[in-house]
Amino acid sequence: MSAIRKSEAIEKLAQAVAASSSEDLADVYAELFPDRPRLRPAEAETRRGEVTEYVRTKMEPEELVDLWNVVFPTDRNVYYDDADGLLCYNQEEPWYAGR
């Protein structure tokens, strides 16, 4: 099990967005702004700063979980523990899920 504070999760996401390819950045943009037209990878570069700033300053916990699944697709069972302010991931599956 891994768990990190919300602030650490946001910074990890922001760094990943800042270092992402144009194609991945277009996917991140589509996840964060579903009501806006989808960007082509060439257009995504012009929005990198906007996306990174949004991640660092305006992310809600629900968005954090959704974006985590996009940026880190190998992590499983991701959820936000509101009581402790932690993003938890790679949790063991509940006993009923493995059967």
Q: Which residues contact 20 (CB under 8 A, 6 or more apart)?
A: 28, 71
Does 79 fall in a domain?
yes
**Domain assignment of residue 96, yes or no:** no
Is 57 a domain residue? yes
Query: Nearest 5°: phi and psi at 82?
Result: -65, -35
Q: Tell me, what's the pLDDT at 93?
A: 60
pLDDT level of residue 32 (50, 70, 90 thresholds):
very high
Q: Answer yes or no: is pLDDT of 9 > 90.
A: yes
Question: pTM here?
Answer: 0.83
What is the DSSP pairing of strand 2-5 with strand 86-89? Answer: antiparallel
Q: Is residue 42 part of a domain?
A: yes
Domain extent for 7: 2-89
Q: Is residue 99 part of a domain?
A: no
In-domain check, residue 97: no
In this structure, is residue 94 part of a structural domain?
A: no
Number of domains the chain contains: 1
Task: Work out the average pLDDT over 14-18.
Answer: 95
Measured distance CA(35)–CA(15) in Å, rounded:
24
What average pLDDT does the segment 59-74 reach? 93
Q: Is the per-residue pLDDT at 34 higher than 90? A: yes
Distance from C-alpha of 21 to C-alpha of 40, rounded to nearest angstrom: 12
| 13 domain-assigned | yes
